Structure 1
Amino acid sequence: MLEASAQWGQLITILIMAVALGLDAFSLGIGIGMKGIRLLHVLRMSILIAIFHVLMPLVGFYAGEYFSSLLGQVTSYVAGGLLLLLGAHMIFNAFRSGETSFMDHRTFTGTLMFAFSVSIDSFSVGVTLGMFRTDLWLTLFAFGLCGFLMSVVGLLIGRRVNRNLGEYGEAVGGAILLAFGLLFIL
């Protein structure tokens, strides 16, 4: 019974983290969608985001396993610190003013850069999860699916709503990662 409870706890944690990471794609997708985007570009961009939301934590996961073997008992503090830094960074970026767009989302290169930029935080979380030996395939599936679905929803909503909603989504994702960082440290 205790083992089943631990498995449910791990599943819930992975899903919450997947949603938190997907909020970045959601919030930035709203901004892109507000600039005007065709449905074909929504699909293309969301598929690339899903791919990066799988690849980045995969690389991070193996890096985390390596660091875990090096760090030993300090692992949970390092992992918690990484999540704290990542969460704080997401919150800071959410409220940073004067952000300029340096890429055209309609080009393949622009779409690739956008997908990479919203997935880079998945690498850090992958490092953290690699330190704790979570279920790799479940994690990758959840991250990829949430990244895809939340980017589709963000891009489609962006076609219809105002610009202020986007920054709050990234801030909420950052707050969730901050909370998990504190849980790992305490």
Structure 2
Amino acid sequence: MNSLEIILIGIGLSMDAVGVCLSNSMVFKNLTLKKRLAMPLFFGFFQGLMPLIGYFTGEFFAQYITRYSRFIVFLILGAIGIKMLKDAFCTEEKCKENNTPLTYQLLFTQAIATSIDALAVGVGFSTLSVNIFAAITLISLTTFVCSYLAVYIGKKFGSLLENKAQLLGGCILVLIAIKALF
């Protein structure tokens, strides 16, 4: 498997992370530079870590994770998306009460949820005699770049959309959650 093929796999794997970064950047106003950089770092790290785990654990571990991965992703991203949708329709006073910040714990949860499918890719790599360290480096970098661009684009759209950004962000996460079931 050549570098271009692995980069294309990385782009495919990063699309859920891109959607989440867009949503986060649109919804969470006044993100610090640290949080804007943390998103692509978290997502890039976990998109690289999961294939590594899949590569070394092989079929045994992966069959149990992948069996339930759709439901795990659906529950995590669905719950976050529904909360965003609920918050989009709250009144001005209630919105001020419920204005939760983007936390590192939330980023950690989102990064794991969006990278579970990469575990199966790692299992596939083990059967193809792929240089796993080169592959996970390319996948991590690809995800980082795609996620970083999504953070930038999401910030711009969030400013343009203002209050509707929460609604759009929630819809994106719910759609990714539903997509995970199929």
- Work out the percentage of aligned pairs sharing the same amino acid: 21
Aligned twin of 2:18: 26
After TM superposition, give the deviation of residue 99 of structure 1 in Å: 3.9
Check whether the contact 2:17–2:143 (CA below 8 A) recurs between aligned residues. yes
- Give the aligned CA root-mean-square deviation in angstroms: 3.5
Q: In 2 relative to 1, CA 101–151 (structure 1 residues): closer, same or farther, beyond 3 Å?
A: farther
Check whether the contact 2:40–2:143 (CA below 8 A) recurs between aligned residues. yes
Q: Distance in 2 between matches of 1:99 and 1:55?
A: 25
Q: Distance in 1 between matches of 2:20 and 2:43?
A: 12
Check whether the contact 2:21–2:39 (CA below 8 A) recurs between aligned residues. no
Matched ranges for 1:81-100 at <5 A:
99-100=81-82
Is the aligned partner of 1:57 residue 2:51? yes
Is the aligned partner of 1:48 residue 2:30? no
Tell me the alpha carbon deviations over residues 121-159 of structure 1, each in whole angstroms, 9 at most, x when there is no partner: 211211222222212111110111012111111111111
Q: Distance in 1 between matches of 2:111 and 2:83?
A: 14
Q: In 2 relative to 1, CA 155–101 (structure 1 residues): closer, same or farther, beyond 3 Å?
A: farther
- Secondary structure of 2:129's match? coil
Aligned twin of 1:155: 151
Aligned residues: 142
Q: Distance in 2 between matches of 1:152 and 1:43?
A: 7
Aligned twin of 2:96: none
Scaled by the length of structure 2, the TM-score of the pair is 0.62
Amino acid at match of 2:9: M
Aligned twin of 1:39: 33
Tell me the alpha carbon deviations over residues 77-116 of structure 1, each in whole angstroms, 9 at most, x when there is no partner: x9xxx8xxx9x99xx9xxx9x94248x6622211111111
Aligned twin of 2:104: 108
125, 130, 147: which one aligns with 1:129 = 125
Aligned twin of 1:74: none
Amino acid at match of 1:100: I
- Secondary structure of 2:15's match? helix
After TM superposition, give the deviation of residue 60 of structure 1 in Å: 0.7
Scaled by the length of structure 1, the TM-score of the pair is 0.61
Check whether the contact 2:40–2:147 (CA below 8 A) recurs between aligned residues. yes
